[in-house]
Amino acid sequence: MSQKYYLLRNREVADIDRMDVYLAHGGYQALKTALTDYKPEELVDLVKKSGLRGRGGAGFPTGMKWGFLPNDGRKRYLVVNSDEAEPGTYKDREIIEKNPHQLVEGIIISSYATKAREAYIYCRGEFLFGAEQLQRAVSEAYAEGFLGENILGSGFSVDLKVYRGAGAYICGEESALLESLEGRRGNPRLKPPFPAIAGLYGGPTVVNNVETITNVPAIVTYGAEWYTSMGTAKSPGVKIFSVSGRVSRPDNYEIPLATPLRSLIDDYAGGVLPGHKIKAVIPGGSSVPLLLPDKLDTPLDYESVLQAGSMLGSGGCIVLDDSVCMVGATARLVKFYREESCGKCTPCREGTYWMTDVLDRIERGQGTEEDLDTLMDIADNIGGKCFCPLGDASLGVLVSAMKFFRDEFEAHVREHACPMGAKLYDTVNH
Amino acid sequence: MKPEWNQWAREFKEQYPGANSALMPLLHRIQAEEGWLSDETIHDVATLFDLPESYVESVASFYSLFFRNQVGKKVVHVCVGLSCALAGSDRLMENLEHRLGIKEGQTTADGEYTLLEAECLAACNQAPVVQVNLRYFEGLDPERPDVLLESSKSPEEEVKP
Ligand SMILES: Cc1cc2nc3c(=O)[nH]c(=O)nc-3n(C[C@H](O)[C@H](O)[C@H](O)COP(=O)(O)O)c2cc1C
Ligand code: SF4
Ligand code: FES
């Protein structure tokens, strides 16, 4: 499939992670345009008109978020969330490793728009190379006068620092991220107040995802109408989908929103592995409910995926085929939430522990009919009862798997074994 | 306490509006040199920040990449996320355990390798993946764990803050 890239420009231009190459391909022109042709408020309006929505998972309109900052004269912060750790999602890592300057340019423009004097990139601890690439890009941007005092003679100043996390998925949740950045354990904060009112060091703060901010230079360059010419009225623009699992060409695909799920899987990712059939798809990262093959024609925009019974989330699309045991796959994902529960609230901390325990037992063939009810019971005690969204996230796949594939769970109990051999990987298939 | 730690602490503190924001950068910096964070290190860092030891410990223990026990020169993180599992990460882990003669969570007797599970490392298109001292090894053959153990780079080259 032919592709045009606005975000993953590294796929068209070799070495675009270098300042000279980025500049030679129009880099930092959007920054110049923003600083000379726009007042900050006009940029906020531009982003509102573009309809850009947050790519970190929740899809919140970016311009509207920027508009929430109170005008009370306090120092403002922009924090970019590069903690990407949602299983199945690997788009932000490609941006920071391969096209870091576009992110840095986006951060400077967004800081100008939101009048932030200080900006941070919170980079997942495991992304050592990504942090190095970002640090290099930031240093190069300082050297060119794109960061620091009085940028390009505009009178606008902003500083940007790269901050390394140290291994904790929960720090992707924005308030936990801010706690971490302030030198504490990454436990989420009570909301409200939201970061716009009381964020980093108590100051008004915008938190945005890497991919969200990487869109900003393109929107300045090509305009809001270009952006709304793609996707739907409510979900305009382009989005990167990370496809993995049982497909021929697992990779990141940058495509207009509202592209059908079937097209992403078949036309882009090369379809399910030869000789196999799709069983279910996790369309938006490990936290969202499964979609069955009858939903493959769902357009990948926020509203349509929700209507189909799942969520677009982070765009991490995991394809499961008929070789995959749904109990094993579910157990694997629920265990992730057990590992990553921050432990602050009981339903999540204890619930993810017990669900993992029961699921492992069923997968090993030692589960009982009663265990299936126990699972749903624990899920009931987690759903809507946790301090932050991680608790609910642990239920997305589980509850839908129990609904759509209850027969598989029952077969495990009845046969006292996993009918598929209790292995997620079958050497015969490879 | 190493003499340079004081200097590092001061430099990091100057960079942030809140002094405690310098804590994680300092822990990263020290661990890059020492390999891990001993009780004595926690004590020294607490002194440098004028914080209770329990506070530094509570932060260090929260994050999985801060090692509170001695680890091998090479820390091998095998991704066990779903996409990697579908591509054979469990088999790869078994083979590594066998090859190194240790179980997940353990360190070889010669202090060379520590073998750990990692959650999704955001490289699912290259499954199964492993990080050795946080450097990626992608698209591995589960039956050939040796490629991970033949990397020529020294850990010093590989990990810098
Ligand atoms: C458990 C949890 C993990 C999250 N992880 C991430 C993440 O890794 N990256 C990210 O951008 N947002 C993540 N989010 C969403 C953030 O809280 C926040 O909504 C987002 O960074 C806002 O940016 P956006 O509006 O540009 O999407 C996570 C949320 C939760 C509840
Ligand atoms: S829901 Fe889980 S991750 Fe969120 S605060 Fe509670 S224990 Fe922590
Ligand atoms: S599951 Fe291993 S990198 Fe994502």
Q: What is the CATH number of domain A238-321?
A: 3.10.20.600
Q: In A199-260, which ranges are continuous DSSP H helix?
A: 210-222, 224-228
The rounded distance, in Å, linking the Cα atoms of A388 and A344 is 9
Cβ of A318 within 8 Å of Cβ of B18? The answer is no
The separation between CA A213 and the C-alpha centre of its own chain, rounded to angstroms, equals: 12
How many residues belong to chain A? Answer: 430
Residues of chain A with pLDDT under 70: 1-2, 427-430
The rounded distance, in Å, linking the Cα atoms of A158 and A11 is 30
How many residues belong to chain B? Answer: 161
Residue B157 has pLDDT above 60, yes or no: no
Nearest beta carbon to residue B131 from set A92, A126, A245:
A126
Question: Which pLDDT score, from 0 to 100, does residue B159 have?
Answer: 42
DSSP structural state of residue A247: B
DSSP structural state of residue A267: I
Segment 139-158 of chain A within 8 Å of chain B by CB: none
B75 token code pair? 């820390």
Q: Give the number of the ligand closest to the Cα of residue A382.
A: 2
Cβ of B119 within 8 Å of Cβ of A85? The answer is yes
**3-class DSSP state of A312:** coil
The rounded distance, in Å, linking the Cα atoms of A68 and A208 is 13
Query: What b/e sequence results for A171-188 when a residue is b if at least 16 CB atoms lie within 10 Å of its CB, and e otherwise?
Result: bbbbbbbbbbbbbbbbbb
Give me the residue spans of the domains in chain A: 9-228, 238-321, 326-415
Cβ of B82 within 8 Å of Cβ of A316? The answer is no
Nearest beta carbon to residue B134 from set A126, A336, A423:
A126
Ligand 1 centre distance from Cα of residue B74 (Å): 31
Give me the residue spans of the domains in chain B: 3-62, 74-158
How many distinct helices (H) and strands (E) make up chain A?
A: 18, 8
**3-class DSSP state of A305:** helix
The rounded distance, in Å, linking the Cα atoms of A172 and A84 is 7
Are A248 and A269 in contact, with CB atoms under 8 Å apart? yes
Using pLDDT thresholds of 50, 70 and 90, give the confidence band for residue B160: very low
Residue B158 has pLDDT above 90, yes or no: no
Provide the 10 A C-beta neighbour count for residue A22: 25
What single letter denotes the amino acid at residue A409? F
A208 token code pair? 């945005």
Are B128 and B86 in contact, with CB atoms under 8 Å apart? no
Cβ of A166 within 8 Å of Cβ of B64? The answer is yes
Are A115 and A67 in contact, with CB atoms under 8 Å apart? no
Question: Which pLDDT score, from 0 to 100, does residue A4 have?
Answer: 87
The rounded distance, in Å, linking the Cα atoms of B17 and B139 is 42
Instruction: Kindly give the number of the ligand 3 atom that is closest to the alpha carbon of A89.
Output: 4
B160 token code pair? 């810098």
Ligand 1 centre distance from Cα of residue B107 (Å): 34
A52 token code pair? 């850009």
Question: Which pLDDT score, from 0 to 100, does residue A428 have?
Answer: 52
Instruction: Kindly give the number of the ligand 1 atom that is closest to the alpha carbon of A390.
Output: 1
The rounded distance, in Å, linking the Cα atoms of A167 and A268 is 32
pTM for the structure as a whole: 0.97
pLDDT digits (tens, 9 = 90+) for B66-113: 999 999 999 999 999 999 999 999 999 999 999 999 999 999 999 999
Question: Which pLDDT score, from 0 to 100, does residue B152 have?
Answer: 53
Are B151 and A268 in contact, with CB atoms under 8 Å apart? no
The rounded distance, in Å, linking the Cα atoms of A88 and B122 is 7
Question: Which pLDDT score, from 0 to 100, does residue B156 have?
Answer: 44
Are B89 and B140 in contact, with CB atoms under 8 Å apart? no
Angstroms from B18 CA to nearest CA on chain A: 7
- CA distance readout (Å), A72 to A67, A75, A76, A313: 13, 9, 10, 33
What single letter denotes the amino acid at residue B147? V
Q: Least CA distance to B92: which residue of chain A?
A: A425
Are A12 and A128 in contact, with CB atoms under 8 Å apart? no
* A369 CB burial (10 A radius; 0-12, 13-18, 19+): exposed
Check if B145 has its Cβ closer than 6 Å to any atom of ligand 3.
no
The rounded distance, in Å, linking the Cα atoms of A198 and B8 is 30
- Return the bridge partners of B74, or none: B113
Segment 113-142 of chain A within 8 Å of chain B by CB: 118, 124-129
Ligand 2 centre distance from Cα of residue A170 (Å): 8
The rounded distance, in Å, linking the Cα atoms of A30 and A43 is 12
The rounded distance, in Å, linking the Cα atoms of A341 and B40 is 29
Q: Quick one: CATH architecture of A9-228? A: 3-Layer(aba) Sandwich (3.40)
At residue A314, φ and ψ (nearest 5 deg) are: -85, -10
Instruction: Name the residue among A54, A425, A22 with its Cα closest to residue A210.
Output: A54
Ligand 3 centre distance from Cα of residue A167 (Å): 15
User: CB neighbours of B40 closer than 8 A, spacing ≥ 6?
Assistant: none
Check if A348 has its Cβ closer than 6 Å to any atom of ligand 2.
yes
Q: In A38-76, which ranges are continuous DSSP H helix?
A: 40-50, 62-67
Instruction: Name the residue among A48, A60, A79 with its Cα closest to residue A389.
Output: A60
Domain at B74-158, CATH class:
alpha beta
Q: What is the CATH number of domain B3-62?
A: 1.10.10
Question: Which pLDDT score, from 0 to 100, does residue B4 have?
Answer: 97
The rounded distance, in Å, linking the Cα atoms of B133 and B82 is 22
Provide the 10 A C-beta neighbour count for residue B52: 10
Cβ of A164 within 8 Å of Cβ of B161? The answer is yes
Is CATH 3.40.190.10 correct for A326-415? Answer: no
B156 token code pair? 């010093």
Cβ of A184 within 8 Å of Cβ of B21? The answer is no
